[in-house]
Amino acid sequence: MKSLALLHAAELVTLAGPQRPRIGNELSGLGIIRDGGLLIRDGKIDIVGASDEIEEAARDAEIIDLGGRLVLPGFVDAHTHLVFAGNRLDDFERRARGESYEQIAKAGGGIWSTVEKTRAASEADLFAQATKHAEWFVKCGTTTVEAKSGYGLTLDDELKIVCVMQRLNQETPLEVVPTFLGAHAVPRDRSAGEYVDLVINEMLPRVAKEKLAEFCDVFCERGYFDVEQSRKILTAAKKLGLKLRGHVDQLTNSGGAKLMAELGAATADHLEKTDEQGIAALKTANVQPVLLPGSVYALGSTSYPRAREMIEAGLAVVLATDFNPGSAPTPSMPMVLSLACTQMKMSPAEAITASTINAAYSLNRGDAIGTLEAGKAANVAVFDCEDYREVAYWFGFRQMHAVYVRGKQISF
């Protein structure tokens, strides 16, 4: 493969820094090179530097002039529910009339309605819909996503979803990191206890044996899985070698953050209702908070998580979309950055770090993606603007100019 030189970025945001998740002031260190460039060889970043240095070194390379645009590492979206059938337009309309997420779920909408559609869909249909959504992510500058199962809730239907994720990974440019979320809701035909046993005795052993997922997640919430049931499932998953993530304290403060700390989870996600004790617990165990302001916004709530307190407590904050048909129908990390700055008072620099290198560490890929440094995958997002703050400042439209995945430009 011929090497490729990308030259003349107004700002090349490298995020070069310590080889670990960034905390405190480190979240503001973007490692910007003005009039920067990259030399890419075999899909990896070979040299990062000033454009004239790169040009010197790039004698045999194809040269692309970025014309003074902004360059970031591709976004890493560490919390999505990428594979599902249909949509939840009826829920959306009911919320607009004032019903809550919980009321709509009780009345026949919610997660269960997506489970019914996902069970009825063939693997081919699910793959076709997910491929379209994967394309949306790349068009918004995202090059890696974590994706959760959880709209099947039987062994076969969960495996169908995981197969779709594997195919997306192989057949689309988007890198997909699989998480098993069998405990997303209790199926209508079983008690919670029976279903927890099924997850532990049948689903998890199969997922672990065939290495179908890297992480296990649960929805720890009133009406879904309580702290005790969540502990049982996550403990079983940990014994089988899976790393842990969790939907916790989203609608009620149930002590979910503390549970994730107790179990040494990689991440605790949502945290809209987490208090200072929960934040302190996450710090003690170095659990990364994954904040999902898109779901707060789309649910019409104003209960955003306490991002500033988390940063001040020294947590390595991550931002993600929570892409799903119910509470967060957006694949757009730029939209999430806008919400992080306007609603959670994160700075644009903190938001960029949280959605690239910190997200990469939360997925165990901090050494391979998330910054523009020599040796990493050449996953590059080029924006039609000059200043990194513009990504979060302008909102409601796409500013993407080009996206490269492992050095290959994706056409859109």
Binding interface with ligand NIG (CB under 6 A): 81, 111, 114, 219, 247, 250, 295, 322, 324-328
249 binds Fe ion (CB under 5 A): no
* CA 131/CA 137 separation, integer angstroms: 10
Q: Which is nearer to Fe ion, 11 or 249 (CB)?
A: 249
CB 151 to ligand NIG: min, Å = 7
Q: Which is nearer to Fe ion, 91 or 322 (CB)?
A: 322
Q: Which is nearer to Fe ion, 79 or 389 (CB)?
A: 79
Which option in ligand NIG, Fe ion, none does residue 332 bind, with CB closer than 5 to 8 A by kind?
A: none
Task: Calculate helix-pair angle for 155-171, 110-120, nearest 10 degrees.
Answer: 70
Q: Which is nearer to ligand NIG, 252 or 347 (CB)?
A: 252
CB 105 to ligand NIG: min, Å = 8
Which option in ligand NIG, Fe ion, none does residue 326 bind, with CB closer than 5 to 8 A by kind?
A: ligand NIG
CB 322 to ligand NIG: min, Å = 5
Q: Which is nearer to ligand NIG, 13 or 111 (CB)?
A: 111
3-state SS, residue 212: coil
State phi, psi for 282 to the nearest 5 degrees.
Answer: -60, -40
Which CA distances in Å does 72 have to 22, 102, 332? 17, 38, 15
Q: Which is nearer to ligand NIG, 83 or 111 (CB)?
A: 111
* CA 153/CA 322 separation, integer angstroms: 19
Contacts of 160 (CB under 8 A, 6+ apart): 123, 126, 152
What is the token pair recorded at 367? Answer: 């050494």
3-state SS, residue 255: coil
Which option in ligand NIG, Fe ion, none does residue 293 bind, with CB closer than 5 to 8 A by kind?
A: none
Please choose, from the candidates 295, 288, 287, 220, the residue with its C-alpha nearest in 3D space to the C-alpha of residue 255.
220
Label the pairing between strands 380-383 and 318-319: unpaired
217 binds Fe ion (CB under 5 A): no
Cβ neighbours, 10 Å, residue 208: 18
Which option in Fe ion, ligand NIG, none does residue 111 bind, with CB closer than 5 to 8 A by kind?
A: ligand NIG
- The DSSP symbol for 260 reads H
Q: Which is nearer to ligand NIG, 80 or 356 (CB)?
A: 80
Residue length, the chain?
412
* CA 390/CA 404 separation, integer angstroms: 20
Residues 297 to 326 in contact with Fe ion, rule: CB under 5 A:
322
Which option in Fe ion, ligand NIG, none does residue 245 bind, with CB closer than 5 to 8 A by kind?
A: none
68 bridge partner residues: none
Residue 147 · residue 179 · CB < 8 Å = yes
Binding-site size for Fe ion (CB under 5 A) equals 1
CB-nearest residue to ligand NIG? 326
CB 81 to ligand NIG: min, Å = 6
Which option in ligand NIG, Fe ion, none does residue 250 bind, with CB closer than 5 to 8 A by kind?
A: ligand NIG
CB 89 to ligand NIG: min, Å = 13
Which option in ligand NIG, Fe ion, none does residue 219 bind, with CB closer than 5 to 8 A by kind?
A: ligand NIG
- What are the DSSP E strand ranges found in 51-203? 62-73, 75-77, 142-148, 175-183
221 binds Fe ion (CB under 5 A): no
Q: Which is nearer to Fe ion, 215 or 388 (CB)?
A: 215
Cβ neighbours, 10 Å, residue 368: 16
46 binds Fe ion (CB under 5 A): no
Q: Which is nearer to ligand NIG, 81 or 306 (CB)?
A: 81
- The DSSP symbol for 373 reads -
Give contact residues for Fe ion (rule: CB under 5 A): 322
